[in-house]
Amino acid sequence: MSSISPKRCVANGPPSLSKLLIFSHLSLATIVLLSFAGVMFWMNYQAIYAKVASELLRAAEILDEQLASGTVPQLLMIPDAFFHRFGKADRDHGRTTIGKRI
């Protein structure tokens, strides 16, 4: 039988102070970076949500004004200025120097 030497069973010992400091600083930096990224994502999400909500509210106000002025509901229209907010507008398409659109 082969005997297992005690040196092989024991790990390298407790980590050194420098390794503990490096790992603690790296974990702290990771936590700070992920927290910052999370806050930035949440703020961007809230800003986009507020912008879309205000645009939809303004479109609803325009439709309400048209209804109040006596427009038949089948003839309600949203002005052309709002079409780019609800889908791709003419300005959102790519421009080329070779094609018609320059």
Note whether 92 and 84 are within 8 A (CB): yes
Q: Does residue 67 form part of some domain?
A: yes
pLDDT, tens digit, for every residue of 22-73?
A: 999 999 999 999 999 999 999 999 998 898 888 888 888 888 888 888 888 7
Note whether 62 and 78 are within 8 A (CB): yes
Average pLDDT, the chain: 78
Q: Does residue 31 form part of some domain?
A: yes
Look up the domain containing 35 and give its range: 15-92
Q: Does residue 98 form part of some domain?
A: no
**What totals of helices (H) and strands (E) does the chain contain, helices first?**
2, 0
* Structural domains counted in the chain: 1
Q: Does residue 1 form part of some domain?
A: no
- Please tell me the distance from the alpha carbon of residue 88 to that of residue 22, in angstroms, as a whole number: 50
The model carries a pTM of 0.53
